[in-house]
Amino acid sequence: MKKHGNLIFALAVISVFLWSATAFGLSDVFKKNIYNPGILKPTDSVLKVKVGDSAPDFSLPAVSGEKFSLSRYQGKKNVVLSFVPAAWTPVCSDQWPGYNIVKDIFDSNDAILLGITVDNIPTLFAWTNQMGNLWFSVLSDFWPHGAVADRYGVLRSDGVSERAIFVIDKKGIIRYIGVGDINKRPRLEILVRELERLEK
C-alpha cells in the first residue's frame, strides 16, 4: 500500500513537471500573467469546411465595439481568419504580435486579417492591450459560445478553438486551411506563401 502511495506521489510529480515543460520564448510584455495549460492534444476537432467551399458567413462583435461580418469583404478584400485558442495563454499571446508587424505583407496581397477567439470582449480587451496597437480587428466568438469556430469545425471538445488559419479569397471561397498543433505557433512563411498565391 505504502509502495503504491510512493508511486502515486512520484507520478503526481512527473505530471506537474511534464505539463510545465514547454519552451515558448514568451515575451516579457505579459509579465507573469500567462496561464500555462501544459501540453495539449495537438488537434481535437473535425473540419466542417474544405478548400474550395464558400466560407460560412458570420457576424461577430469586435473589441472596438463594431460588428464584423465576413460578407462585408466579398468582392473587396481577401480575408485571413486567425483562430487562436484562448487569451492569456502562452503560444496565442506570441502569435498576433508577430502579425502586427507585417501589415505591409497583408496590404500588398490586398488582404485583411480578423483575429478570433472564444473569449469575451472584456478579456480580449485586456489581453490585446498588452500587444500594443493592433492594426487588425479582434473578434469575440464568445456567445453563442464558439458558434463560428464550430461552424468551421475548429471548436475543440473543451470549448476553445484550434489554432487555425483560413485564407478566403475575394469571392468568398476558402483557399487555404491550416489547423496546426495547438501547442505550436504556425510559421509565418506558410501564411505569406498562401497570400501570395491569391488573385490580387
Partner 1 sequence: MNNKMKSIPMSVATFIISLTFLHGLAFGSNLPPVKGDVLPEIKIPVPESAADRSYLGLESGEFFKMPQLKAKVVIIEIFSMYCPHCQREAPEINRLYSIIEGNPDLKSKVKLIGIGAGNSSFEVEVFKRKYNVPFPLIPDEDFSIHKCIGEVRTPYFLGIKINDDGTHRVFYSKLGEFKGAEPFLDLMLKLSGLKQEM
Closest to partner 1 by CB, 13 or 173 = 13
Residue 124 is a catalytic residue: no
Query: Which letter, b or e, does each residue of 8-34 get, where b requires 16 or more Cβ atoms within 10 Å of its Cβ?
Result: eeeeeeeeeeeeeeeeeeeeeebeeeb
125 near partner 1, judged by CB under 8 A: no
| 127, 119 Cβ separation under 8 angstroms | yes
Q: Which of the stretches 15-23, 135-143, 146-154, 166-174 binds partner 1 when contact is defined by CB under 8 A?
A: 15-23
Among 43, 74, 130, 137, binds partner 1 (CB under 8 A): 130
158-197 residues near partner 1, rule: CB under 8 A: 185, 187-189, 192
Cα–Cα nearest to 149, from 182, 171, 183: 182
5 near partner 1, judged by CB under 8 A: yes
What letter does residue 104 receive in the DSSP assignment?
H
86 grid coordinates: 484562448
Contacting positions for partner 1 (CB under 8 A)? 2, 5-6, 9-10, 13-14, 17-18, 20-21, 23-29, 94-95, 97-98, 100-102, 130-132, 185, 187-189, 192
